[in-house]
Structure 1
Amino acid sequence: MSKKENKKREKRLQSMMTAKSSAELDAEVEEILSQQIPDPEDMSPLWVSAAKIPVTPEETRRNEEMLIDQIDRRERHKLESSKRRERKGSR
């Protein structure tokens, strides 16, 4: 086959593959659209329903202290990491 025939054949095969892919894609889109998808406005998030809501002021305070401790640990870790990097860079 000549180059011209090869290009024509290749182009024809590509167009067939594109048409097939498009048909498969259309079928998939139709299938997805036919499904019953719940409205997100009607659903409550899982983290709201599953979370234990603090009832007493003591529980609220304990949760706030735990959050502050977590933030402190993260910041301390970042600071230590940057100090280590500075020490390695100065060697």
Structure 2
Amino acid sequence: MAQKFSPEKMARLRDEAQNPYRALRQFVYICFGISGGVGGVVFLAQIAAGRDLQKAIPNFAVQAGVVGLMILLWRWENKRKLAQENSKK
């Protein structure tokens, strides 16, 4: 017996089929971005205190890079989503 899906559910299923795991990817971007932000604050505090600068500065740069990469990936994901929505219209 074939089940009828509501138009809203069909639209959601089509969107998920075209972009699998989008919500999971965005969740990962948020988690890694927050983690990088917290790490950046910690290493920035170490730099401000002058503690172990040879390790703190590269670690801060890595954390800043993680945050920057997550922002870049988030924006790229949103551009793809908007382009897909505009192509449907």
TM-score by length of 1: 0.41
For CA contacts below 8 A with separation 6 or more, give which structure has more relative contact order: 2
Q: Which protein shows a greater Rg?
A: 1
Structure with more helix by fraction? 2
TM-score by length of 2: 0.42
